[in-house]
Amino acid sequence: MTTPTTRAHPPGTHTHVLERPSEAEKHNVALIAARAFTTHPTYLWFAGVNRPGFAPPSPTAKSSKDIPQPARSLYFFFRALINAVFFSGGRIVVVRVPDSAPLSASSSPHPLTSSNSPGRIVAIAIWLAPGFGESLDSPLNIYRLGFHRPVLGRGSWGLGAVKRLNATRAEYERLHETGVQKRGIKGGLHACWTCELLGTEPDEEGKGYASLLMREGLVYLDSLPTPPPCILEANSPRLKAIYERFGFEGTAEVRAGTGKVDGDGFRVARGGSPSDALGVYTVPMVVLTLLSGSRA
C-alpha cells in the first residue's frame, strides 16, 4: 500500500466515490494501481519475478496494449479487482486534484482525467465489503470478472501465480479470522470490511493523498448503522506503525513465500542461500475504533 502521510495536498483536492465508472475511469484506476504497486513485495511474489523486477507502466498508456509484460498482468489483475468490487460490493474512492494543479515533467500529458467529475485522478482506495470473496468461488465469475487474464498468455504470471495467490490469501484470512475472534467481533471475518488497496500515482507521492483516503474510508464505515471493523495487511514495520496511528492493531506476523523469495518479493535463485529466502513480511491488522474513538 501507499504510505499514508500528513502532508498538505493542493487546494481543491477532493475525494470522489466511483459509482458507475466509465471504461476510461476503470483504466485510469487500474493504471495508477499498477504503477503504484510495481515494486510491492506481495505482488512480486505472486508474479514470480526475478531481480531487478520490471518497469512500471507509462502514465500515458491508453490501453493494456501500451503496457509490456509482466506489468500488463499486474494491470489486468487490478482491472479484474475493479470489476469484482462492482459485482460483489465495496467502494472505490479516488482523490482528484484540479486540472490546473502542477504536473511533474514525466506526467505530461497526463491521461488520468475524467469528464464525470472535475479534476484528474491522483490516488485510489479500494474497499471490499463483507463476503466479498464468496463471489469468487465460482469459476464462471472468475472468468467473467477477468481474473484469468493476469495468468494466461505469453509473458503472463502463469498458472503458478494462482497457487501462490490462493495459498497466501488463505493464510491471511486464517490469521485475520483468529485475530478478530480473539477480539470478540460478532460474525468474525464475515463482519469485516477490507481496506484492500491504497495507491498513489508515483509522481504524486508525498502529498497526503493516502491519509485522505484512509480517513474518508474510516469515516464512511463509522457512519453505517452498525459500524463494522476493518482489516488490512501491513507489509513493513513502518507501515504497521503508521496504520496503528489510525487505530489499527496487529493480530499476527507472517512471511509469505518463505524459502522461495527474499524480503522484497523477488525469487531466490536455485542454490542461493536459505538466509536470503526470508519471504515477504506481512502483519494482518484490524481496526475496531475510529480515530475519534467514537466506536465502542
pLDDT tens, position by position, 73-92: 999 999 999 999 999 889 99
% of the chain exceeding 70 in pLDDT = 88
**Structure confidence at residue 110 (pLDDT):** 39
Q: Is the pLDDT of residue 220 over 90?
A: yes
All domains of the chain in start order, with CATH: 14-287 (3.40.630.30)
Which residue has 489499527 as its cell numbers?
Answer: 248
Q: Which residues contact 102 (CB under 8 A, 6 or more apart)?
A: 10
Cα dihedral sign, 134-137-140-141: positive
Phi, psi torsion values for 245, nearest 5 degrees: -70, -20
pLDDT tens, position by position, 133-192: 887 778 899 999 999 999 998 889 999 999 999 999 999 999 999 999 998 888 889 999
**Structure confidence at residue 114 (pLDDT):** 41
The predicted model gives 270-295 an average pLDDT of: 75
- Burial readout 186-225 (b: 16 or more C-beta within 10 A, e: otherwise): eebbeebbbbbbbbbbbebbebbbbbbbbbbbbebbbeee
The predicted model gives 187-200 an average pLDDT of: 94
What gap in Å lies between CA 274 and CA 146, rounded to an integer?
A: 36
Q: Which residue has the higher pLDDT, 116 or 214?
A: 214
**Structure confidence at residue 105 (pLDDT):** 39
Q: Pick from 213, 214, 248: which is nearest to 234 by CA? A: 248
- Running DSSP on this structure, what letter comes out for residue 244? H
Lowest mean pLDDT among 15-19, 42-46, 189-193, 269-273: 269-273
Cα dihedral sign, 203-248-80-41: positive
Q: Is the pLDDT of residue 290 over 70?
A: no
pTM across the whole model: 0.88
**CA 97 to the chain's CA centroid:** 21
Alpha-helix runs per DSSP H in 183-264: 209-223, 237-245
Q: What is the distance in angstroms between the CA of the first residue and the CA of the last residue of the chain?
A: 27
**Structure confidence at residue 155 (pLDDT):** 87
